């Protein structure tokens, strides 16, 4: 399981995904189906996400399939941006069609 901040045209969203990579074609297709055609994604430590989101994390994880899935945990860009340090963010994965 991965957690990541995905920077989109409308701001950052925090996602949980069972895909191995933010560059996986199926992951990109899922975002595309949600209207996200271009993005920059940074993995963030799952333990920090659990700590910051508590019960909300647990509820969303209960609805996440173990394979080939993703869920938006938070779409409040301001909250996401202030909740994680740049030091928490992994190397960027950039995608544009």
What is the CB neighbour count within 10 angstroms for residue 45? 14
What pLDDT is recorded for position 29? Answer: 94
Give the number of domains in the chain.
1
Q: What is the mean pLDDT of residues 26-31?
A: 93
The Cα 28–Cα 7 span in angstroms is 13
The Cα 49–Cα 57 span in angstroms is 8
What pLDDT is recorded for position 61? Answer: 79
Q: What is the mean pLDDT of residues 71-92?
A: 94
Is the pLDDT at 8 greater than 70? The verdict is: yes
Taking only the tens place, the pLDDT of each residue in 11-25 is 999 999 989 899 999
Taking only the tens place, the pLDDT of each residue in 37-80 is 999 999 999 999 999 999 888 888 776 655 558 889 999 999 99
Q: Which domain holds residue 46?
A: 2-95
Is the pLDDT at 1 greater than 90? The verdict is: no
């Amino acid at each position: 399981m991965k957690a990541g901040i995905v920077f989109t045209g409308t701001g950052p969203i925090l996602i949980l995904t069972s895909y191995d990579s933010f560059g996986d074609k199926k992951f990109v297709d899922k975002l595309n189906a949600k209207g996200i055609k271009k993005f920059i994604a940074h993995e963030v430590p799952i333990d920090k996400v659990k700590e910051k989101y508590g019960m909300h994390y647990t509820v969303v994880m209960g609805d996440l399939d173990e394979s080939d899935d993703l869920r938006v945990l938070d779409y409040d860009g301001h909250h996401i941006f202030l909740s994680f340090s740049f030091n928490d963010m992994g190397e960027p994965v950039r995608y544009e069609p």
